[in-house]
Chain A
Amino acid sequence: KQEVTQIPAALSVPEGENLVLNCSFTDSAIYNLQWFRQDPGKGLTSLLLIQSSQREQTSGRLNASLDKSSGRSTLYIAASQPGDSATYLCAANNAGKSTFGDGTTLTVKP
């Protein structure tokens, strides 16, 4: 059974800092790994998807990496802004269904 863990649970940084969010998963037989952003009381906004054959994906200030063999993914956010404040979820996809982590709640202070 897939289990996904995210560290840290919460992170507070001053504006402008670069930061790394961590995601680990127990079953490496994944189709892909997806990072989402969730604002309080809202839905899931897909940020990046890394296929199992890929090592990383980039979108703007976001970069996600995947090391399938060690069961790890990281989300790197460059030059953080207050608007980045949200909960970031990673989801490992096995045979179609996704298993989510608990998320990292990020607060970027102006």
Chain B
Amino acid sequence: EPEVTQTPSHQVTQMGQEVILRCVPISNHLYFYWYRQILGQKVEFLVSFYNNEISEKSEIFDDQFSVERPDGSNFTLKIRSTKLEDSAMYFCAGRERPYEQYFGPGTRLTVT
């Protein structure tokens, strides 16, 4: 069964550094999402992406964040200048139309 993959599984970075989290969605999916989960808190929506543009973003998704689908397969989340509070698990998800969302295994980001 096809699955969503994310790399790396764990990223440690210093405050102020840029990070890029990568996701490879299932090939026939059209809609893509990033969510994050700060340790001990609920999973929160960050951004949705369709047809090569952002369709919706939350208030968390400020100018420090950007998303891209550079080559038609990878889907990336970039954080330009990481803060301590960006430490979280980041999940990528995808779907076909109004169907089930398939989530990746997550990338744990630790900002020191």
Task: Give the B-binding residues of A (Cβ under 8 A).
Answer: 31-32, 34, 36, 41-44, 46, 49, 89, 91, 93, 96-103
**A-B CB proximity, top 5 nearest:** A100-B43, A43-B105, A31-B98, A43-B106, A49-B100
- Dominant secondary structure at the B interface: strand
Pick from B48, B103, B105: contact of A96, CB under 8 Å: B48
- Contact of B25 with A by CB under 8 A: no
Determine how close the nearest CB of chain B comes to the CB of A81; give it in whole angstroms. 24
Question: Which residues of the other chain, A, contact B35 by a CB distance below 8 angstroms?
Answer: 98, 100
Determine how close the nearest CB of chain A comes to the CB of B41; give it in whole angstroms. 8
Interface CB pairs A-B, < 8 A, 19: A31-B98, A43-B103, A43-B104, A43-B105, A44-B43, A44-B91, A44-B103, A46-B100, A46-B103, A89-B43, A96-B31, A96-B95, A96-B98, A97-B56, A98-B101, A100-B35, A100-B43, A101-B42, A103-B42
Task: Give the A-binding residues of B (Cβ under 8 A).
Answer: 31, 33, 35, 42-45, 48, 55-56, 89, 91, 93, 95, 98-106, 108
Pick from B42, B48, B106: contact of A97, CB under 8 Å: B48
Tell me, in angstroms, the Cα distance from A25 to B93 when the chains sit together: 21
Question: Which residues of the other chain, A, contact B103 by a CB distance below 8 angstroms?
Answer: 36, 43-44, 46
Closest to B32 in A: A96
Question: Which residues of the other chain, A, contact B100 by a CB distance below 8 angstroms?
Answer: 32, 34, 46, 49
Question: Which residues of the other chain, A, contact B102 by a CB distance below 8 angstroms?
Answer: 46
The reply to whether B45 and A99 contact each other, CB–CB distance below 8 Å, is yes
Question: Which residues of the other chain, B, contact A46 by a CB distance below 8 angstroms?
Answer: 100, 102-103
Tell me, in angstroms, the Cα distance from A96 to B30 when the chains sit together: 11
Question: Which residues of the other chain, A, contact B91 by a CB distance below 8 angstroms?
Answer: 43-44
Question: Which residues of the other chain, A, contact B42 by a CB distance below 8 angstroms?
Answer: 89, 100-103
Question: Which residues of the other chain, B, contact A31 by a CB distance below 8 angstroms?
Answer: 98
